[in-house]
Amino acid sequence: MKTGKCFCRRAKGLCKRTKCFFSWMIIVAMLMPALLLCACSRSGRLSKKSNGGRLMPGEAFEEEFLGTEPTDPGPEPIDPGPEPTDPGPEPTETDPANQFKKVAISLPTKSLQRWLDDGTRMKTALEQAGYEVDLRYAANDTQTQIDQVRDMILDKCDLLIIAPLSQSPYWDQLLSEAKRNNIPVISYDRLLMDTDAVDYYVTCDFYLTGQMQAEYIIEKLDVEHSDRPVNIEIFTGDASDNQTNFFYNGAMDVLDPYIADGRIVVKSGQTELDQVATVGWRTELAQNRMDALLATFYSDGTPLDAVLCSNDSTALGVTNSLVANYTGSYPVITGLDCDIANVKNIIAGKQSMSLFHDTRTLADATVNMTLDLLSGKEPTTNDDVRYNNGKKTVRSYLCAPLLVDISNYKDILIGGGYYTEQDLS
C-alpha cells in the first residue's frame, strides 16, 4: 500500500536520526572524564601559580594518588586580630636569669654607720636590678647571725652575702646546707673560715694595707737616713680575724729588715702576732695596753717615734692613752677606715694618717659579682691565690685603699661625698 510504504520510509529515516543521536551521546559520555581531568589539572596549575609554584600541604599526595582537589577544609578560621608585640625570646628552664629571685644579706650590726650604708647601698642596687632582697643585721651577736642565715637558707634564698661577725665552727655545718641547695655564698669584707661552701670573697686588700702603713712610717721618720734607731710599737686586730693576719704580715714584711739591722727598735719586744693582737679590735683594750707600754718603757723620757695601728679603733685607744700619759714629741700613728673621730684627730694633729677603704666601692663590687652570678656569668676576680680559709683557696676581688692625711682629707672624704664639713667640725 502507498500509505504503508510512506510510513515505513519515514520510520526508517527516524530510526537513522535516533541512531545518530545516541551515537553522539555515547561519544560525549566517553569524552566527559577526559574533559573533567583537564579542568582539574588546569585548576591545580593555577593554584600552584598563585602560591609561587609551591604545593600546599597534602596537595601532592592528593593529586598523585586521588587525581582530585583536596577535600574542602571547611570555613576559614576566625581572624584573631593583630599579632601581639614580640616580647623577645621565650624564657627557658636553663636561662640563668630566671633561676634566681632572692638575695639574702647578713651584716654584723647597725651600730656602725658603715654597715648601715653598705647594706642600704647593696639592697637598693639589687632591688633596682629586679631582685628581692632579705637584709638582716645581727646586733653584734654571732649566734643571732647564725640563726638569721639559717632562716635565709630555709626561706630558699638564691644567693647569700655574709659579713661574718666572728668565726664559729657552726658556719661550716650551716653553709654546707647552702651548698647542698646550690646557693652561692659571697663572703663580704671578712672571710668565712674553715668551710668549703664559700664561693667568692670581696674585700679590701689588707696585706697591701699593712704594707702601706709600714711604708708610711719608714718614709715619715726617714728611717733610711736617720742618725739614730727609731722606736715603734705595733697594734693589730683580733687574732681570730683572718684580716688581722694580712694586716700583720703586710706590715711585718716591710718592717722586719729594719728591725733585723737595728734601724727600727720595738722597745717592748712585742712583735709576735699574739703579743700585738687586740681582742675584738676594742678601743679600750688598745688603750689599756698602750698605758702599760708607756709606763714600762717610755716613762724615762725614751722617745716613742711611731705606733703602727692596723685600724682606727685601735688607733683611737692609742691616741687616748698618749693624750693622757705621754709628754714627748707626738709619734706617727697610722690607722684604717677614716672613722669620724679619727679624721678629727688627723685634723687636730693627733693621728698622722688613715687608709680609706671606700666601702661604697666594696659594696658596688659585691653587687656586680652578685649580678654576674645570677645571670650565669663568670664573676671578675683579681686574686685567686692568697686567700685560703683553711679548707680552700677562695677566689677574691680586692679593692685598693687610699691614703688620707691632713693634706688631702678634704678632697677624698668631703669632695668624694663621704663626709660633710659639718660631720668633721
pTM more than 0.85: no
Task: State the CATH class of domain 206-356.
Answer: alpha beta
Q: What is the mean pLDDT of residues 227-250?
A: 94
Q: Which of 90-94, 168-172, 328-332 has the lowest mean pLDDT?
A: 90-94
Please check the confidence at residue 74 and state whether its pLDDT lies above 70. Answer: no
Domain definitions of the chain by residue range: 97-198+359-399, 206-356
Sheet arrangement for strand 306-309: 264-265, 230-235, 306-309, 332-333
DSSP symbol at 2:
H
pLDDT score at 32: 59
Tell me whether domains 97-198+359-399 and 206-356 share a fold.
yes
Please check the confidence at residue 173 and state whether its pLDDT lies above 80. Answer: yes
Q: Dihedral sign, CA of 310, 315, 317, 321?
A: positive
How distant is the alpha carbon of residue 282 from its chain centre?
Answer: 31
C-alpha to C-alpha distance for 353 and 332, rounded to whole angstroms? 8
Helix and strand totals (H; E) in the chain: 13, 12
Please check the confidence at residue 147 and state whether its pLDDT lies above 90. Answer: yes
pLDDT score at 97: 52
Express each pLDDT in 3-16 by its tens digit.
444 433 444 444 44
Backbone angles phi, psi at 174, to 5 degrees: -70, -45
Q: What is the mean pLDDT of residues 303-324?
A: 97
One of 3.40.50.2300, 3.40.640.10, 1.10.357.10, 3.30.1600.10 is the CATH number of 97-198+359-399, namely 3.40.50.2300
C-alpha to C-alpha distance for 27 and 35, rounded to whole angstroms? 12
C-alpha to C-alpha distance for 399 and 3, rounded to whole angstroms? 136
pLDDT score at 85: 33
Express each pLDDT in 349-393 by its tens digit.
999 999 998 889 999 999 999 999 999 999 999 999 999 999 999
Q: Which of 11-20, 54-63, 281-290 has the lowest mean pLDDT?
A: 54-63
Express each pLDDT in 242-275 by its tens digit.
889 999 999 999 999 999 999 999 999 999 999 9
Q: Which of 15-24, 118-127, 305-314 has the lowest mean pLDDT?
A: 15-24
Q: What is the mean pLDDT of residues 306-315?
A: 96
> Under a CB-based contact definition with an 8 Å cutoff, are residues 107 and 117 in contact?
no
Query: Among 117, 190, 235, 211, which Cα is nearest to 400's?
Result: 211
Q: What is the mean pLDDT of residues 83-105?
A: 50
> Under a CB-based contact definition with an 8 Å cutoff, are residues 89 and 98 in contact?
no
Q: What residues contact 194, with CB distance under 8 A and at least 6 apart?
A: 167, 169, 171, 172, 389, 390, 391
Q: What is residue 173's three-state secondary structure? A: helix
Write a three-state SS string for 304-335.
CCEEEECCHHHHHHHHHHHHHHCCCCCCEECC
Please check the confidence at residue 157 and state whether its pLDDT lies above 50. Answer: yes
Computed over every residue of the chain, the mean pLDDT equals: 82
Query: Among 217, 207, 315, which Cα is nearest to 263's?
Result: 217
The DSSP bridge partners found for residue 233 are 307
Backbone angles phi, psi at 135, to 5 degrees: -105, 125
> Under a CB-based contact definition with an 8 Å cutoff, are residues 265 and 298 in contact?
no
C-alpha to C-alpha distance for 413 and 417, rounded to whole angstroms? 6
Rg (CA), the chain: 44
Query: Among 269, 287, 266, which Cα is nearest to 278's?
Result: 287
Q: From residue 296, how far is each of 5, 276, 291, 324 by CA, in Å? A: 171, 16, 9, 15
Site of grid cell 656586680: 368
Higher model confidence: residue 305 or residue 50?
Answer: 305
> Under a CB-based contact definition with an 8 Å cutoff, are residues 220 and 257 in contact?
no
C-alpha to C-alpha distance for 246 and 251, rounded to whole angstroms? 8
Q: Dihedral sign, CA of 316, 351, 110, 150?
A: negative
Say if residue 310 is exposed, middle or buried (CB neighbours under 10 Å; 0-12, 13-18, 19+).
buried
Read off the C-alpha cell for 101. Answer: 629571685
The residue type of 360 is R
